[in-house]
Amino acid sequence: MKNIAYYNGKIAPIEEMMVPMNDRACYFGDGIYDATCAVNHVPMHFDAHVDRLYRSAELIDIRIDMPKEEMKQLILDLVAQVEGDTLFVYVQVTRGVGMRNHAYSGAATGPSIWAFVRPCKMRDPYKAYPCITMEDTRFLHCNIKTINLLPAVIANQRAMEAGCEETIFHRGERVTECSHSNVHILKDGVLKTAPCDNLILPGITRAHILDICARKGIPVIEEPFTLEEMMDADEVFFSSSSALTSRVCAIDGKPVGMKDEKTFAIIRDTYQEDVAKECR
């Protein structure tokens, strides 16, 4: 198949899938999601993504009735039916279906499970990309991977309009993350990345980058960094399951980084090797 979608037991091509108008996703964005890429039909960092899906659900009082192992098997079954070497894998859980009402206690049928799989292309990890910055006006629960993504949608659109690849958010002078990835800097051979507080989503790829640094002897500081520090960094890069480790060459039209290819290459190439081993 070219693509496939799932909704509460129904399976069909994405273009044919229909969902109830009263699913709380439609009115309130009342749900959470997770996503990764599958290489050679093996989802990247699979357990970590499924664990984060269930963790996000718990943080907004959604109890996923489907056990984790059953969820994993569902996803693997969908992945197996779609053609392509690299696939985008998306899973979403909403609070369920019920007449529109802000209060959710007793109002919904129980969680709705959505999923789809389609071919995709991951970014070229050997290219460098321009970015823009934007004030971070999102809510204060960025650690929950909710489907309330309007600020990120607008930010990414602004990046595309500027001919750039990503928007880097900041709250005042503090850099937080990007519209759909984490952002990191290298300075004097040290990796600096934002701490896992409520202002960023703790990325799965971010966690693997920290593991690589530990294995390769690259010092890491998990502390907030500023716009000024970012513009003065030896390297700036962003990371996610589809972005992998993407180097930044310019921010707001000003050249940045591109001064420590050696350290960045260790992180990039080791990550590529790890993914290849995991998904072979």
Residues tagged active-site: 33, 145, 177, 201
Nearest alpha-carbon partner for 245 in 257, 231, 232, 227? 257
DSSP label at residue 84: S
Separation between Cα atoms, residue 100 and residue 127, nearest integer Å:
46
Cβ neighbour number for residue 225 with a 10 Å cutoff: 20
Separation between Cα atoms, residue 236 and residue 193, nearest integer Å:
10
CA angle 128, 215, 246 (to 5 degrees): 10
List the 112-119 sheet strands across, edge first: 10-12, 4-7, 112-119, 86-94, 31-39, 42-43
Separation in Å, CA 119 to CA 39, 85, 103, 242: 10, 8, 38, 12
Separation between Cα atoms, residue 96 and residue 110, nearest integer Å:
5
Phi, psi of 216 (to 5 degrees): -100, 0
